Each structure stands twice: as C-alpha cells, then as structure tokens.
C-alpha cells in the first residue's frame, strides 16, 4: 500500500472499505482493522531509489472516538532505525508466539 507514513497507512486501511457504500460503516471497519493488525512497517524510498524501513507502528485493539490506539516502536533518527522505548499496546499475541516484546525492543 502506498502511504506517507505508518499512521497514514493505517488510516487508509480503515478508509478504503468505506468506499464500498452505505452497507458498511466506520463503526464496523475501524475495530475490525484494530483486531486484525499487530504492526505496520513503513518503508521510505531514498533518492537512490532504494527503500528502507522508516518506522514500525504497533497497533492496539482499543478504539477511542474512531481512532485506533497505536505506539511507534521504531523510528529512523540520524539515519538509523532505533527503538523509541514505547510500550507495545497488545503483547499477548507475541507472547503466545514465543516472542518476548521487551527483548525485541531492547528495553
């Protein structure tokens, strides 16, 4: 999907189904997207044409006022992808898969 940021990609994923017409609404789409996605990885294109990961966004299950809870886990600063120290909104899926989020995030 083409988007300018990880947050924009999440918004686009929530918006595109609404183009189907009146038979589907945001009250159904937004919580469904929140429950289906764990992470959004945003890649940016460099002037050379190569792509690099610019940001990793964790997607939570909670929706408030039509907005999905998120946390930026990794962000590119000074040319390097670095952990932000933000906590993961929903860790249980990763734990069940045998991944310890704190180890992955180097916190």
What's the pLDDT score for residue 51? 95
34 with 48: CB under 8 angstroms? no
| pTM of the predicted structure, to 2 decimals | 0.83
88 with 58: CB under 8 angstroms? yes
Cα separation, 57 vs 40, whole angstroms: 5
Strands (E), the chain: 39-45, 51-64, 67-77, 80-83
What is the per-residue pLDDT across 52-74, written as a single tens digit (0 to 9) for each? 999 999 998 899 999 999 999 99
């Amino acid at each position: 999907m083409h988007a300018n940021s990880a947050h924009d990609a999440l918004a686009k994923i929530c918006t595109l189904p609404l183009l189907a017409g009146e038979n589907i609404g945001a009250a159904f789409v937004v919580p469904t997207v929140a429950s289906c996605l764990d992470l959004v990885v945003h890649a940016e294109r460099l002037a050379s044409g190569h792509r690099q990961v610019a940001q990793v966004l964790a997607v939570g299950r909670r929706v408030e006022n039509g907005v999905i809870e998120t946390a930026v886990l990794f962000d590119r600063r000074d040319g390097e992808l670095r952990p932000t120290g933000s906590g993961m909104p929903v860790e249980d899926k990763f734990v069940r898969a045998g991944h310890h989020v704190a180890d992955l995030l180097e916190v």
